[in-house]
Amino acid sequence: MAAVESDRDPPSALCSEFLNFSAKDTASRWLVASNLEQEVYRHLAMYVPRILCVGPNGGVSSREEQREEQREELACQLLLSAPLEWLLLGEEPAAGLAQLQENNQPSPLCGHVFKVGEPTYSCRECAADPTCVLCMQCFLSSIHKDHRYRMTTSGGGGFCDCGDAEAWKKGPYCQKHIPTDSNRDSEEDPVAQLPADLVARGYSIFSIILKYAVDLLTWEQEDQLPAGLEPPERGDMYYCMLFNDEVHTYEQVIYTLQKAVNCSQKEAVSFATTVDRDGRKSVRYGDFQFCEQAKSVIVRNTSRQSKPLRVHVMHSSVVAHQCFALKALSWLGQIIQYSDGLRRILCQVGLQGKGENSSLVDRLMLNDSKMWKGARNIYHQLLMNSLLMDLKYKKIFAIQFAKNYRRLQTDFMEDDHERVVSVTSLSVQLFTVPTMARMLMVEENLMTTIIRTFVDHLRHRDLQGRFQFDRYTAQQAFKFGRVQSLIGDLKYVLISCPTEWSDELRLKFLEGLDAFLELLKCMQGMDPVVRQVGQHIEMEPEWEAAFTLQMKLTHIISMIQEWCSTDERVLIEAYRKCLTALSHCHSGLSDGEQPITLSLSGHSVDTFRYQVSQDKVSIHLPVCRLLAGLHVLLSRTEVASHYPKQLPLSELSPPLLIELPLRCLVLCAQVHAGMWRRNGFSLINQIYYYHNVKCRVEMFDKDIIMLQAGASMMDPNHFLMIVMSRFELFHIFSCADVRKRYREANKDLVQQNNTLIEEMLHLIIMVVGERYIAGVGQVEPFDEIRREIIHQLSVRPMAHSELVKALPENGNKETGLERVIDNVASFKKPGVTGRGLYELRPEWNKHFNLYFHHYSRADQSKAEEAQRKLRRQNGEDTALPPPLPPPLCPLFASLVNLLQSDVLLAVEGAVLQWAVEPSGGGWTESMLQRVLHLVGMALLEEQQQLENSSGDDDNVTFNYTCKITRPGEAPSTSGSVLALLESLQNAPHLEVHKDMITWILKMVANIKTMRERTSSTCTIGISPGQGSEETVRDKDKAERKRKAEMARLRREKIMAQMSEMQKHFINENKELFQQSLEELEASTSAAAEDRYVLVPGEWVEPSVISWSPVSCVRRSRSSEVMAEPWCWQHLSRGLQFCPKTATVTCLTQSITTLCSCTLTCLRGFIPLAVDTSCMPPAGRGTLRRCSSRSRDVSSVFEVTPAMTWRMGSFCVHSASV
- The string of pLDDT tens digits covering residues 907-918 is 998 899 888 877
- Residue 520, CA distances (Å) to 274, 652, 704 in order: 44, 20, 19
Which residues share a beta bridge with 315?
238
Q: Residue 1172 — pLDDT band, cuts 50, 70, 90?
A: very low
- Residue 2, CA distances (Å) to 10, 59, 263 in order: 20, 11, 9
- For 392, list phi and psi in degrees, rounded to 5: -65, -50
Reduced to 3 states, what is the DSSP secondary structure of residue 1106?
strand
Instruction: Give the rounded percent of residues in the chain with a pLDDT score beyond 90.
Output: 49
Q: According to the model, what pLDDT value does residue 646 have?
A: 85
pLDDT at 856 over 80: yes
Q: According to the model, what pLDDT value does residue 348 have?
A: 94
Q: Residue 235 — pLDDT band, cuts 50, 70, 90?
A: confident
pLDDT at 1034 over 70: no
Q: Is the dihedral of CA 282, 285, 288, 294 positive or negative?
A: negative
CA distance 729 to 903: 13
- For 1107, list phi and psi in degrees, rounded to 5: -120, 140
Which residues share a beta bridge with 596?
607
- Residue 437, CA distances (Å) to 166, 432, 445, 522, 677 in order: 12, 7, 10, 26, 49
Q: According to the model, what pLDDT value does residue 459 have?
A: 81
CA distance 646 to 649: 9
In terms of C-beta density within 10 A (0-12 exposed, 13-18 middle, 19 or more buried), how is residue 2 classed?
Answer: exposed
User: With the CA atoms of 74, 75, 79 and 82 taken in that order, what torsion angle do they form, in degrees rounded to the nearest 10?
Assistant: -10
Most confident of 643-652, 679-688, 944-953: 679-688
Q: Please, are residues 664 and 625 in contact by the beta-carbon 8 Å criterion?
A: no
DSSP letter at 417? S
Mean pLDDT of 870-884: 92
Q: Residue 1019 — pLDDT band, cuts 50, 70, 90?
A: very low
Higher pLDDT, residue 1174 or 172 = 172
Q: According to the model, what pLDDT value does residue 1148 have?
A: 31
User: With the CA atoms of 1080, 1086, 1088 and 1091 taken in that order, what torsion angle do they form, in degrees rounded to the nearest 10?
Assistant: -120
Instruction: Give the rounded percent of residues in the chain with a pLDDT score beyond 70.
Output: 77
DSSP letter at 884? P
CA distance 1016 to 1160: 41
CA distance 1211 to 1098: 6
Q: According to the model, what pLDDT value does residue 853 have?
A: 94
Question: Half-sphere exposure of 523 toward its Cβ, with a 13 Å CA cutoff?
Answer: 28
Mean pLDDT of 693-715: 95
Residue 894 one-letter amino acid = S
pLDDT at 590 over 80: no
Continuous segment of H or E residues that includes residue 243: strand 238-243
Reduced to 3 states, what is the DSSP secondary structure of residue 608?
strand
In terms of C-beta density within 10 A (0-12 exposed, 13-18 middle, 19 or more buried), how is residue 121 classed?
Answer: buried
Q: Residue 6 — pLDDT band, cuts 50, 70, 90?
A: very low
pLDDT at 372 over 90: yes
Q: According to the model, what pLDDT value does residue 948 have?
A: 83
Q: According to the model, what pLDDT value does residue 1038 have?
A: 63
CA distance 1157 to 1196: 16
Q: Which residues contact 839 (CB under 8 A, 6 or more apart)?
A: 793, 797, 825, 826, 827, 828
Mean pLDDT of 555-570: 94
Strands (E), 562-646: 595-600, 603-608
pLDDT at 684 over 90: yes
Continuous segment of H or E residues that includes residue 548: helix 544-565
SS (H, E, C) 263-282: CCHHHHHHHHHHHHHHCEEE
CA distance 349 to 366: 17
pLDDT, tens digit, for every residue of 138-147? 999 999 999 9
Rg (CA), the chain: 43
Q: Please, are residues 1097 and 1165 in contact by the beta-carbon 8 Å criterion?
A: no
pLDDT, tens digit, for every residue of 801-821? 899 999 988 777 777 888 889
Q: According to the model, what pLDDT value does residue 1039 have?
A: 65
pLDDT at 403 over 60: yes
Q: Residue 707: which of 755, 650, 766 has the closest Cα?
A: 766
Q: According to the model, what pLDDT value does residue 747 have?
A: 80
CA distance 367 to 357: 11
Q: Which residues contact 1171 (CB under 8 A, 6 or more apart)?
A: 1201, 1202, 1204
Q: Which residues contact 563 (CB under 8 A, 6 or more apart)?
A: 494, 497, 498, 509, 570
pLDDT at 1126 over 70: no
Q: Residue 1065 — pLDDT band, cuts 50, 70, 90?
A: low
pLDDT at 182 over 60: no
Mean pLDDT of 192-221: 93
pLDDT at 201 over 90: yes
**DSSP H helical segments within 729-856, as ranges?**
730-733, 747-769, 781-795, 800-806, 817-824
CA distance 685 to 663: 18
Q: Please, are residues 936 and 999 in contact by the beta-carbon 8 Å criterion?
A: yes
Q: Please, are residues 1061 and 1207 in contact by the beta-carbon 8 Å criterion?
A: yes
Q: How many CB atoms lie within 10 A of CB 290?
A: 16
Let me know how long the chain is.
1217
Q: Residue 952 — pLDDT band, cuts 50, 70, 90?
A: low
Q: Residue 714 — pLDDT band, cuts 50, 70, 90?
A: very high
Q: Residue 131 — pLDDT band, cuts 50, 70, 90?
A: confident
In terms of C-beta density within 10 A (0-12 exposed, 13-18 middle, 19 or more buried), how is residue 87 classed?
Answer: buried
Q: Residue 358 — pLDDT band, cuts 50, 70, 90?
A: confident
In terms of C-beta density within 10 A (0-12 exposed, 13-18 middle, 19 or more buried), how is residue 777 classed?
Answer: buried
In terms of C-beta density within 10 A (0-12 exposed, 13-18 middle, 19 or more buried), how is residue 1180 classed?
Answer: exposed
pLDDT, tens digit, for every residue of 953-993? 566 788 898 888 876 554 444 568 898 898 888 888 888 89
Q: According to the model, what pLDDT value does residue 1137 have?
A: 34
Q: According to the model, what pLDDT value does residue 439 have?
A: 95
Residue 553 one-letter amino acid = L
- The per-residue b/e assignment along 616-654, b for 16 or more CB within 10 angstroms, e otherwise, is ebbbbbbbbbbbbbbbbbbbbbebbeeeeeebeeeebeb
Q: According to the model, what pLDDT value does residue 935 have?
A: 95
Q: Residue 1064 — pLDDT band, cuts 50, 70, 90?
A: low
- Residue 251, CA distances (Å) to 248, 552, 906 in order: 8, 33, 71
CA distance 919 to 905: 21
pLDDT at 1041 over 70: no
pLDDT, tens digit, for every residue of 96-127? 999 998 888 888 888 888 888 899 999 988 99
pLDDT at 1027 over 90: no
DSSP letter at 1208? T
Strands (E), 73-147: 119-123
Strands (E), 302-377: 311-315
Reduced to 3 states, what is the DSSP secondary structure of residue 1210?
strand
Q: Please, are residues 414 and 370 in contact by the beta-carbon 8 Å criterion?
A: no
Say which range, 640-644, 885-889, 1191-1195, has the weakest mean pLDDT.
1191-1195
Q: How far apart are the first and last CA of the chain?
A: 124
Q: According to the model, what pLDDT value does residue 479 have?
A: 82
Higher pLDDT, residue 991 or 1164 = 991
Q: Which residues contact 480 (CB under 8 A, 6 or more apart)?
A: 458, 469, 472, 545
Q: Is the dihedral of CA 278, 215, 369, 289 positive or negative?
A: negative
Q: Please, are residues 193 and 298 in contact by the beta-carbon 8 Å criterion?
A: no
Kindly report the average pLDDT of the chain as a whole number: 80
Please calculate the CA angle 321-325-328 and round it to the nearest 5 degrees. 135
CA distance 533 to 678: 7
Q: How many CB atoms lie within 10 A of CB 850?
A: 20
